């Protein structure tokens, strides 16, 4: 079964309901590296409900998993997560019931030998007041599905990162078991847990979830430019460029320009960038 452009562009799913509580909020924060030092008073507010529990803004990426593209005709075994974008209309509460509407925005045909790039958007409301909470955008690179007759123009340009040395840097270690912990947020893809499967598809060990790397970069900015004030982050966009292996040390470089922080993440020991073209928008 191949991708049918008309069918793909017609895909939408409205009125999907999801619910999360403080347990999911705590688990997400632990999964992206919060609380490694249990005596760190600032991080404790994200992993211990001693008062008003703080939320890591990137948690929005796992809260409304609408299975929009599940039967779209692609070769799922060759699919990669390309980009993740987030607009937070207001800070995430530590618990809520959500209503999500998802749709395909566009699908770009990069050619039979290059693949397809599919963009989706999910708009999420808080069921308590039916007002917008966040908007999530995502691009998926379907490597085996080019030549289906989709849009052939250029796909959206990524956020440009300034040249020159960064204004700030944050270094955070990942744990060897981090993928096993993070997968409890909902992504049970065995690629992140099964060593034999990882080796069959070309990786020496199971890789870390891209959205876990996304969360780690968000924690780095919370720590470095937000003084752990989660309400300051209003937008968070990245482009994934290489996998992370559990145990890698991730360095996040940041360039500050008013309410916009450009950033990239690299694993120095392997000489690779794992996130490029990052853009964090801050509330004044």
Q: Which residues are catalytic?
A: 187, 192
User: Residues 193, 207: contact at Cβ < 8 Å?
Assistant: no
Q: Which residues of 27-46 are buried (b: 16+ CB within 10 A; e: fewer)?
A: bbbbbbbbeeeeeeeebbbb
Of 257, 261, 254, 259, which is closest to residue 284 (Cα–Cα)? Answer: 259
Q: How far is residue 202's CA from residue 182's CA, in Å, rounded to a whole number?
A: 22
Directed axis angle between helix 22-31 and helix 210-224, to 10°?
90
Cα of 157 vs its chain's centroid, Å = 18
| C-alpha to C-alpha distances, 137 to 11, 83, 102, 183, nearest whole angstrom | 15, 8, 10, 21
Q: Cα 230 from chain centroid?
A: 16
The sheet with strand 249-257 has its strands ordered as: 12-20, 96-109, 116-126, 131-142, 79-88, 233-240, 272-282, 260-267, 249-257, 168-173
């Amino acid at each position: 079964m191949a991708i049918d452009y008309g069918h793909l562009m017609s895909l939408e799913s409205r009125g999907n309901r999801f619910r999360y509580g403080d347990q999911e909020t705590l688990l997400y924060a632990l999964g992206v590296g919060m609380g490694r030092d249990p005596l760190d008073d600032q991080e404790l507010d994200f992993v211990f409900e001693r008062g008003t529990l703080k939320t890591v803004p990137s948690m929005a990426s796992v809260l409304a998993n609408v299975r929009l593209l599940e039967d779209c005709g692609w070769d799922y075994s060759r699919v990669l997560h390309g980009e993740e974008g987030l607009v937070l209309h207001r800070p995430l509460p530590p618990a809520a019931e959500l209503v999500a509407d998802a749709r395909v925005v566009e699908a770009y045909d990069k050619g039979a030998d290059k693949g397809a790039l599919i963009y989706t958007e999910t708009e999420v409301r808080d069921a308590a007041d039916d007002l917008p909470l966040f908007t999530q955008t995502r691009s998926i690179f379907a490597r085996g599905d080019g030549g289906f007759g989709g849009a052939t123009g250029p796909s959206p340009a990524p956020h440009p990162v300034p040249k020159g040395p960064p204004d700030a840097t944050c270094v955070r270690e990942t744990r060897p078991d981090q993928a096993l912990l993070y997968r409890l947020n909902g992504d049970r893809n065995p690629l992140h847990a099964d060593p034999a499967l990882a080796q069959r598809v070309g990786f020496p060990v199971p890789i870390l979830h891209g959205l876990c790397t996304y969360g780690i970069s968000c924690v780095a900015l919370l720590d470095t430019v937000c003084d752990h004030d989660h309400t300051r982050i209003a937008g968070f966009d990245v482009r994934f460029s290489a996998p992370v292996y559990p145990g890698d040390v991730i360095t996040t470089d940041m360039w500050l320009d008013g309410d916009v922080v450009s950033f990239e993440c690299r694993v120095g020991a392997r000489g690779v960038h794992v996130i490029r073209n990052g853009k964090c928008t801050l509330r004044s």
